[in-house]
Amino acid sequence: MDLNNFAICYNSQIAHSVETKDILYKFLRKKNVSVDVVDIDGLKQGFDFVFVVGGDGTILKTARFYAKYKTPVFGINLGRLGFLSQSSREKIENSVEKIFSGRFYIQDRLMLKSGDYTALNDFVIKGCDLGRTSRFSLKINDKPVCDYLADGIIISTPTGSTAYCLSAGGPVLSPLLKAFVIVPICPHTLSARPLVVPETEKITVCTDNENKYVLSADGQELYEIEKQTDIVKADYDARLALLEDSEFYSVLTNKLHWAMPPAYIN
């Protein structure tokens, strides 16, 4: 993979992002490659590889933008969890050396689309009146599946299965699976359980005519929807650059402390 034209995308609203961006820029310039710096609100195309300095939200927005250009993105975490990140401020030089020596791989991640919007993690549909539960009807491939009385409904990708979907009681999916998860939020019935469906399905969420509803994409873009919305696989995948020693299940342990016993108190 020829890497000659790099971009550094950073979020100036995150602490230490400017200093970290400067450190990365100086180190890349020593490699005698072309490097451009772009703000999260001024993304543009034309790069072979993009470094993202910020938290998971910054990576989500950047990955969505560059997915249609098939440009890989590499996250340097300055946020809290940094589940999508591969490096930290302290490990920048080591990570860059691994990338330039070819010790990384590209992993394509499924995305969702609803109209003109795309999501790498999830779409969430909720009623505008947060003090009330909402009614939803779920269809798959235009066939009725069930009705929900709930606070909302999440349609998640495997990447998003460790985000809001997990907090709402959904399963963790390997990012390599070709499937989506449908999870009701606080449903008013014990029989409502998460549903995993193939990537080829068309998911339709219908709402009633009495209330207003909104759909959020990755918790960042928000817009009002009509009586129903169709959600399907996006036309392109996000491309995440991962270091060779990165492995999904170890990330579960290291960042989510998956199934670890509580610490003993002395």
Active site residues: 56
* Six-digit token string for 14: 């995150």
DSSP 8-class letter at 126? E
- Rounded Cα–Cα distance for residues 180 and 228 (Å): 19
Q: 77 near 88, Cβ under 8 Å?
A: yes
The residue count for the chain: 266
What are 232's two structure tokens? 């399907």
Cα–Cα separations (whole angstroms), residue 239 to 72, 90, 120, 226: 5, 24, 10, 31
Q: Are 154 and 165 in contact (CB under 8 A)?
A: yes
Q: How many CA atoms lie within 13 A of 45 on its CB side?
A: 8
Helix residue ranges, H only, 52-131: 56-67, 92-100
- Interatomic CA distance for residues 34 and 143, integer angstroms: 52
- Which amino acid is it at 62? T
How many Å separate Cα 247 from the centre of its chain? 17
